[in-house]
Chains A and B, each alone.
Chain A
Amino acid sequence: MITVIDLKVGNMGSLINALKFLNIDFEIVDSIENFIDPEKIILPGVGSFSAASSCLFESGFYEAISKEVLGNNVPILGICVGMQLLAEIGFEGGKSRGLGFIKADVTKISRVDKSIRIPHMGWNSLESIDYPIFSDLKANECVYFVHSYEMKLKESISFSTVDHGGEIVAYVNKGHIHGVQFHPEKSQSSGLSIIKNFVMSC
């Protein structure tokens, strides 16, 4: 059973459709009262970091998720803003706190070259796919991105990047903690295989 956390700021519809299509058993949890002994957690998110952060702290999910992921080693996959929330601090919509599982900040993508457009929106290919979660991807296979803020790592952990006038962190991995900046639920069959791999083998 996969526990999908609904912070009320995410694109729940898309992810739910993907999980149903893959025949994956899941529950949607929108309050900590129903957040009991999760086996695996997916933390989706579209929206601004600060809005998601407020929900995380006001709902009590900050403590609840931290307890399960850090205390009980429950695997977690953060998607888009959900990945960004794994960091310590985010600057979108004002400075606010994340879960802090990964030593990193989330800052606005900034490029001197004006031909590099922000948001980073569209299909891009991962520089490294040498991780179990990407086992079904071919080299140069694209996944879908849509974001204006990026994770800047402050510790040495596994990661993969994409090129957008400079490197952008697209995947982070620290033991059982995974985050993808792109949207696997919107990346056609390539993306569906990534969700499946997290559920089955991460």
Chain B
Amino acid sequence: MLRKRIIPIVLLDGFSVLKTINFSRRRNLGSPITVMRTYNTRNVDELILLDIDASSSGRSIDKFTLMDITKECFMPLSVGGGISTIKDIEELLSVGADKVVLNTAALKNPQFINSAANRFGSQCIIISIDVIKTNDKYLVYNKNCEDLELELTDWLLQVERQGAGEILINSVDLDGSLSGGDSALAELAASVVNIPVIYCGGISTPKNAADIAALSVSAVAAASIFHFTEHTPEECRQALSIEGVPVR
């Protein structure tokens, strides 16, 4: 039986690891190599590495940083940030990324999802969706796309139709809050599509990670809980196991 995954997310500003709160306030957390090495020795299920300034700075995530990271990374690694061409994807896969995470480029040109999935296979393409809740509606948020008025469910269906292999849902409202995940958002996203959904945003405790993982999502991702509390991915996996959620 397929196990539910616990996925640490590592955010980069190009060179350093950082953590955001509500996608704006930032804290610098040092070298990505050190952080990634720690996760590797902790035997985590999977890692997601995102360069959150790449798109707005008009560049793609740095290949050389990635080469250093992947040398000792024997777990699935998904990489995102500023990916906008097939060549970008080709380069990242060649230095050890297993999957790529698209966000801005997919919103600007949904057809790009399709071209990427045809070239590299759906399983290689994760679409990251940043979500804000306004008047009880879940809307897609992207700082690089002005006047975006897109409902989450509409975008989810379009993304799945274009051939995405997996969805990463981020709650902007709960980002960095450590106040508990949005279970309604997690369940909604997972019920709309038939591809795996990773939920991210606000995970507060291992028990909270287990509660979200027990929903229809395939994985729970988090950053703050691992950076700023004593809790580890391993503890989250144990919590899942105690709650009877299948886990590695």
Task: Determine whether A2 belongs to the interface, using a CB cutoff of 8 Å to chain B.
Answer: no
Task: Determine whether B94 belongs to the interface, using a CB cutoff of 8 Å to chain A.
Answer: yes
Q: In angstroms, how far is the closest chain A Cβ from the Cβ of B65?
A: 14
Which residue in chain A gives the minimum CB-CB distance to B197? Answer: A117
A46→B124 contact, CB < 8 A: yes
Nearest 10 CB-CB pairings of A with B: A13-B96, A119-B123, A123-B248, A146-B123, A123-B3, A142-B248, A186-B76, A13-B95, A117-B196, A48-B121
> Whole-angstrom distance between the alpha carbons of A14 and B71 in the complex?
8
Q: State which of A57-65, A171-179, A187-195 sits at the interface with chain B.
A: A187-195
Q: In angstroms, how far is the closest chain A Cβ from the Cβ of B40?
A: 9
Task: Determine whether B19 belongs to the interface, using a CB cutoff of 8 Å to chain A.
Answer: no
A119→B3 contact, CB < 8 A: no
> Whole-angstrom distance between the alpha carbons of A18 and B70 in the complex?
10
Fill in one digit per residue for A139-159: 1 if any B CB lies within 8 Å of its CB, else 0.
000101111100000000000
B218→A14 contact, CB < 8 A: no
Q: In angstroms, how far is the closest chain A Cβ from the Cβ of B114?
A: 12
Q: Which one of B74, B122, B123 contacts A187 once the chains associate, using CB atoms below 8 Å? A: B74
> Whole-angstrom distance between the alpha carbons of A145 and B216 in the complex?
19
Q: Which one of A120, A146, A185 contacts B99 once the chains associate, using CB atoms below 8 Å? A: A146
A21→B74 contact, CB < 8 A: yes
B2→A123 contact, CB < 8 A: yes
Point out the residues of chain B lying under 8 angstroms from A13, CB to CB: 67, 70, 93-97
> Whole-angstrom distance between the alpha carbons of A19 and B222 in the complex?
30
Point out the residues of chain B lying under 8 angstroms from A119, CB to CB: 122-123, 165-166, 195-196
Q: In angstroms, how far is the closest chain B Cβ from the Cβ of A66?
A: 25
A11→B123 contact, CB < 8 A: no
Q: Given A13-B96, A17-B73, A192-B74, 9 more contacts at CB 8 Å?
A: A11-B93, A13-B70, A119-B196, A122-B2, A122-B5, A147-B123, A148-B123, A148-B165, A191-B74
Question: Total interface residues on B, using CB and 8 Å?
Answer: 40
Fill in one digit per residue for B73-98: 1 if any A CB lies within 8 Å of its CB, else 0.
11111000000000000000111111
Which residue in chain A gives the minimum CB-CB distance to B72? Answer: A21
Interface of chain B residues 1 through 37 with chain A (CB within 8 A): 1-5
Q: In angstroms, how far is the closest chain A Cβ from the Cβ of B94?
A: 6
Task: Determine whether A124 belongs to the interface, using a CB cutoff of 8 Å to chain B.
Answer: yes
15 A-B pairs in the complex with CB atoms less than 8 angstroms apart: A46-B121, A47-B124, A48-B121, A117-B196, A119-B165, A119-B166, A122-B218, A122-B219, A123-B45, A124-B1, A183-B98, A185-B74, A186-B98, A187-B75, A192-B74
Q: In angstroms, how far is the closest chain A Cβ from the Cβ of B243?
A: 17
> Whole-angstrom distance between the alpha carbons of A124 and B247 in the complex?
9
